[in-house]
Amino acid sequence: MFSLPQFMLVGPLGWSELLIILVIVLIFFGPRRLPEVAEAIGKSLRKFKKASADVKDEIQAETKEIFDDKDNKEG
């Protein structure tokens, strides 16, 4: 019948799952490297959000330009 993609079968993460992930990361990287890892993740997320916002702004600007050109031709 209908099957969901694999990533949608996980569902939202709760506090217990986040705690387990944190413990695993702490064991894997150690307490000394954890701030470095968190900083790198934070920087990556900021870059991704900025790039996403830039793409969204450019798409909106192009769409506005297309509709403005269309209105000018009709009027």
Under DSSP, the state recorded for 10 is S
What would the two tokens of residue 28 be? 């894997």
How many angstroms separate the most distant Cα atoms in the chain? 67
Domain extents in the chain? 15-74
Residue 53's pLDDT is 95
- pTM of the predicted model, to two decimals? 0.56
Residue 37 · residue 29 · CB < 8 Å: yes
Q: Which helix (H) or strand (E) holds 2?
A: none
5 pLDDT tier (thresholds 50, 70, 90):
low
43 pLDDT tier (thresholds 50, 70, 90):
very high
